[in-house]
């Protein structure tokens, strides 16, 4: 979610990778790539989410909540959701 001064994860208060300067969130041309579309919940290499800079051992993030990709521009949402969920299942089963 976003308000005029911040971008945040509203349910669990998880860390979100996004700049704090609002002018960096968007492009004035509506048809250009907008940076905010790549923002998402911060995770470690195993997709475990982070809160207050610490990794939570029992919570993972997959799909659209992740940052680092623009699913609308890249048309990659389904692939990211599928592949990240498969990786998380592998990580959980390996534990």
Per-residue model confidence as pLDDT tens digits over 23-44: 666 667 777 666 667 778 999 9
pTM of the model: 0.77
CB 29 within 8 A of CB 52: no
pLDDT tens digits for range 40-57: 899 999 999 999 999 999
Q: What is the DSSP secondary structure assignment for residue 50, as one 8-state letter?
A: E
The H or E element containing residue 41 is strand 40-41
Q: Are 40 and 49 in contact (CB under 8 A)?
A: no
């Amino acid at each position: 979610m976003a308000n005029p001064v911040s971008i945040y994860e509203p349910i669990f208060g998880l860390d979100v990778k996004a700049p704090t300067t609002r002018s960096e969130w968007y492009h004035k041309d509506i048809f250009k790539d907008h940076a905010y579309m790549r923002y998402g919940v911060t995770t470690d290499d195993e997709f475990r989410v982070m809160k207050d800079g610490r990794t939570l051992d029992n919570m993972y993030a997959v799909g659209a909540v992740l940052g680092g990709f623009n699913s609308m521009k890249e048309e990659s949402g389904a692939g990211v959701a599928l592949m990240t969920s498969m990786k998380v299942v592998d990580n959980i089963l390996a534990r």
